[in-house]
Amino acid sequence: MPAGRVYLVGAGPGDPGLITVRGAEILALADVVVYDRLANAALLERASKSAERIYVGKQSACHAMGQADINRLLVDRALDGKSVCRLKGGDPFVFGRGGEEAEACRAAGVEFEVVPGVTSAIAAPAYAGIPVTHRDLASSFAVITGHEREDASDRSDLPTGSAEQRRDWATIAHAADTLLFLMGVESLAEITERLMEHGRSPDTPVALVRWGTLPRQETLVSTLSEVEEAVRTAGFTAPAIIVVGEVVRLRETLRWFDNRPLSGKRVLVTRARSQAGKLSELLEAAGAQAVEFPTIRVVPAADTTQLDAALGHLGLYAWVLFTSVNAVEIVRDRLASLGLDARAFGPVRIAAVGPATEQALHAMGLKPDYVPSEAVAEKVVEEFPAPWDIAGRAILHPRAVGTRPLISDRLSEYGVQFESIDIYESVPDAGDVDELVADLEAGHIHVITFASSSTVRNFVEALGAERAKRLAEKCVVACIGPV
Ligand code: SAH
């Protein structure tokens, strides 16, 4: 990637899947990532680990950094020989001030590239089931700023408010069949009044789409004459796109995103951070908003002597029993550190408890010989294939500290030697308890999920038994496994 260059990259409207391929490529390679509020934080995970990340804020009234400072920052880093990804919400040239940033680069002799993005002006309505054009209802659309004051005021060569005064309502009112206002929630009263004053019918349908393309998207539908009051009553706030025009009616039939099975539901995920992502993704695919509050953290044992010795003669065991994905992954990584691979298993038979554990083995190219019908210790023992045949031989069970001894106790009764090695520990972890409690108190969490007994125990510990019980009663509680 050429150094000393600024890339003005559209991050898309919110859903991290809506960044472009080119944008993601640059994000992954850049030395410096400069981002603001409307660029989804999840995208930053795609940046290189060593990249310098700089938040420059941007919320109409409170800028973390003024535009002049941002321009200087971009130019300075590029002149230092760095590749700079300037990640901007939506499209960088739609009210993103990307134009000014490009001008600053040009003025300083810094090369730049523009990577267009999916603009919220079109995407937010789309996710609300509103196409901005339609053969029967609208043959044009216009994108208009609802409020330019702040944006104009810190540009030194323009008098304060000059951009705002540029808006010519007589023209805007009839600029297109569909009018799309950005940054307009705070001046909604003025917008609707001016449009009616200049001849748009008070019955014209209006929609506001807030946090479009994200699981927390909300949409309010009304008319030009009534929307201002509806927004006030609903306490509807920015950031939102205001859509004015007949196309809004199509939402009734084309709504597709915010009516999925779990739309509008906030679901707490208590799994370890390293494992939460997959569950969160599935929940979000069904429309939910996943709220991650990891209650455990997986810590591999520091002392690997015992495990290393066992892996060194893996082929001598009758069975290896895996009861978690963590165990599979730690063994895989340990084998690699020892310069070994899946062949080390040789003729050993492999047992896997739980479908995820089975999948983790598949990913290593290993097919378990035995998977009990249910992921509980009792079943593992009950269905274990012919344990009497392996009397005198050994089963290796790499496992978590504190695993119930039921399997080893029962199988030992057949004269099997059971070798359990504690290879990792799930230690309690807790994020911001106060914030979570406030959310639960307010009824903002609808479902709490638990994927293991230790997550339940740690959740209760983090909140205190009484409080945990009281707050959990406000929610649906979902769990995996009878234990
Ligand atoms: N360059 C951006 C727009 C920046 S101006 C783009 O192309 O999308 C900021 C305004 O964009 C906000 O005030 C709001 O009106 C709108 N906006 C950005 N993201 C949004 C989203 N996810 N949902 C609704 N409106 C959004």
**Distance, CA of 21 to CA of 405 (rounded, Å):** 50
Q: Which is the catalytic residue, given 36, 151, 177, 429?
A: 36
Is position 474 annotated as part of the catalytic site? no
**Rounded distance from Cα 218 to ligand 1 centre (Å):** 14
In terms of phi and psi (left: phi > 0; alpha: psi -120 to 50; beta: otherwise), the region of 75 is alpha
Biggest CA pair distance of the chain: 92
Confidence of residue 166 (pLDDT cuts 50, 70, 90): low
Of the given ranges (4-18, 129-143, 165-179), which has the lowest mean pLDDT? Answer: 165-179
User: Considering the chain, what is the average pLDDT of its residues?
Assistant: 92
- CA torsion sign for 143, 149, 150, 151 is positive
Q: How many CB atoms lie within 10 A of CB 148?
A: 19
Residue 237 pLDDT > 80: yes
pLDDT tens, residue by residue, 303-318: 999 999 999 999 999 9
pLDDT tens, residue by residue, 316-359: 999 999 999 999 999 999 999 999 999 999 999 999 999 999 99
Phi–psi pair at 299, nearest 5 degrees: -120, 110
Mean predicted confidence (pLDDT) in 143-164: 59
Sequence-distant (6+) residues with CB within 8 A of 473 are none
Residue 160 pLDDT > 90: no
**Distance, CA of 60 to CA of 49 (rounded, Å):** 30
Q: Torsion over CA of 129, 135, 139 and 142, rounded to 10 degrees? A: 10
**Rounded distance from Cα 144 to ligand 1 centre (Å):** 11
Is the Cβ atom of 93 under 6 angstroms away from ligand 1? Answer: no
pLDDT tens, residue by residue, 371-386: 999 988 999 999 999 9
Residues present in the chain in total? 483
Q: β-strand 205-210 against 240-244: which pairing, if any?
A: antiparallel
The predicted structure's pLDDT at residue 151 = 45
Mean predicted confidence (pLDDT) in 184-198: 95
**Rounded distance from Cα 89 to ligand 1 centre (Å):** 7
DSSP3 helix / strand / coil % (the chain, rounded to 5): 40, 20, 40
Q: Would you state the structure tokens that stand for residue 152, as one six-digit string?
A: 């104009």
Confidence of residue 430 (pLDDT cuts 50, 70, 90): confident
- Residue 66 or 467, more confident: 467
* Index of the ligand 1 atom closest to the CA of residue 91: 7
Is the Cβ atom of 146 under 6 angstroms away from ligand 1? Answer: no
Of the given ranges (21-25, 140-144, 158-162, 173-177), which has the lowest mean pLDDT? Answer: 158-162
**Distance, CA of 125 to CA of 82 (rounded, Å):** 37
Residue closest by Cα to atom 18 of ligand 1: 120
Mean predicted confidence (pLDDT) in 211-225: 95
Confidence of residue 36 (pLDDT cuts 50, 70, 90): confident
Residue 135 pLDDT > 60: yes
Is the Cβ atom of 12 under 6 angstroms away from ligand 1? Answer: no
Q: How many CB atoms lie within 10 A of CB 119?
A: 23
Which residue's entry shows tokens 């004053």? Answer: 197
Residue 360 pLDDT > 50: yes
Which residue's entry shows tokens 């927390």? Answer: 216
pLDDT tens, residue by residue, 93-105: 999 899 999 999 9
Is the Cβ atom of 98 under 6 angstroms away from ligand 1? Answer: no
**Residue ranges with strand state E in 373-416:** 394-400
Nearest to 336 by CA among 358, 362, 304, 359: 304
Is position 367 annotated as part of the catalytic site? no
Residue 4 pLDDT > 80: yes
**Rounded distance from Cα 293 to ligand 1 centre (Å):** 28
Q: Which residue from 120, 148, 213 has its CB within 8 A of the most atoms of ligand 1, so it is best to mutate?
A: 120
pLDDT tens, residue by residue, 252-310: 999 999 999 999 899 999 999 888 888 999 999 999 999 999 999 999 999 999 999 99
